[in-house]
Amino acid sequence: MRNILFILSKVHALLLFIILEIIAFSLISKVNSYQHVAITNSSDKFIGNVYNFTEGFHQYFGLKRANIALLEENARLRQQIKYQTFYPKGDSSLPKGDSLYSYNYITAKVINNTVYKTHNYITLNKGKKDGLVTDMGVMDPKGIVGIIVQVSDNYALVMSVLNTNSSISVKHKKSNAFGNLKWPGYDPTTLIVEDISKTAFMKKGDTIITSGYSTIFPPDFPVGIVKKVKNTAGSGFQYVEIKPTTDLNKIEYVYVQQRNNKYEVDSLENNIDLEVENDR
């Protein structure tokens, strides 16, 4: 009798183990798919609130750094105003408020951020109530940061560019050659640009900027500086390692880009796809 009980208790543990592992793995697979970051994540209301609370302490220690970053941005904006005066106000020969590139920016605070995982996410302290929706581009004054993948009422979850699932359209500033920004994992200071044509001559120190082909980021926004260029024999593409212009480990305040006519552009593009399909 005691033996039977002993065996039963053993089987019981194995059964429990298998069930719990199945639950855990289904949660893992949910996180790894791009669109379904559901159930357990830090845009959740409770966890968002907890992070918001602890961020209050954390923020205090980052005040100096945040101040310096704001000063630098101020200086850059002043510089831009200088250039703006080349175009006199009310000059009718200039296109009025280029509607294709009309953007609004929402500022948000980073309340949680990781850089050393394979799938890194960032939590922001703003959400649906502040006008954030999924697929909005997130950047800080120095460069791009990531794309919003999920929003709750008060918080948003951002897929960092340091996420192996992330893929962003970028271009080489000098030659205008297009490529895909990816992260191979492990090193938060190294991103790679894939599928960039060999015909574009690239060298160390060149700038990589956003392409503006996707409606997520504004065009010509800084992304990174070329660190290393590798030419693989037998393919028409080169492999480019870049250093992101923004230190993703230290982001505190970010801008979320709201494109006023994003949905118009997107639905137009979708229509074209459909028509091409129909024609076939």
Q: Which stretch binds another protein (CB under 8 A): 39-47, 86-94, 134-142, 200-208?
A: 39-47
At position 189, the amino acid (one-letter code) is T
Q: Which is nearer to another protein, 119 or 182 (CB)?
A: 119
Tokens 């719990």 locate to 20
Hey, which bits of the chain come out as E strands? Answer: 103-113, 119-124, 137-140, 143-151, 156-163, 168-172, 178-182, 191-197, 207-210, 222-231, 237-244, 253-259
Give yes or no for residue 4 binding another protein (CB under 8 A).
no
The 142-181 site mask, x for binding another protein (CB under 8 A), equals: ---------------x------------------------
Size of the site for another protein (CB under 8 A): 40
Does 199 help bind another protein (rule: CB under 8 A)?
Answer: no
**Helices 63-84 and 45-61, packing angle to 10 deg:** 90
Select from 80-88, 113-121, 138-146, 196-204 the region that touches another protein (CB under 8 A).
113-121
User: With the C-alpha atoms ordered 107, 110, 115, 119, is the resulting torsion angle positive or negative?
Assistant: negative
> Residue 275: enclosing H or E segment and its boundaries?
helix 262-279
Q: Looking at 116, 201, 213, 263, which residue binds another protein (CB under 8 A)?
A: 116
Residues 144 and 167 sit within 8 Å (Cβ to Cβ): no
Decide whether 35 or 199 has the Cβ nearer to another protein.
Answer: 35
Among 7, 34, 49, 54, binds another protein (CB under 8 A): 54
Q: Is 40 one of the binding residues for another protein (CB under 8 A)?
A: yes
* C-beta of residue 188 within 8 angstroms of C-beta of residue 162: yes
Distance of closest approach, residue 65 Cβ to another protein, in angstroms: 15
SS3 (DSSP) at 209: strand
Q: Is 13 in the site for another protein (CB under 8 A)?
A: yes
Contact (CB, 8 A) for 221 and 255: no
Q: What is the DSSP letter of 95?
A: P
Q: Report the DSSP beta bridge partners of residue 197.
A: 237
Q: Is 117 in the site for another protein (CB under 8 A)?
A: yes
Question: What mask of x and - would describe binding to another protein in positions 118 to 147, judged by CB under 8 A?
Answer: xx-x--------------------------
Q: Is 49 in the site for another protein (CB under 8 A)?
A: no
Of the candidates 180, 178, 183, 142, the one whose C-alpha atom is nearest the C-alpha of residue 160 is: 183
Residue with Cβ nearer another protein (127 or 141): 127
The footprint of another protein (CB under 8 A) covers: 9-10, 12-14, 16-17, 20-21, 23-32, 37, 40-42, 44, 47, 50-51, 54, 114-119, 121, 157, 185-188
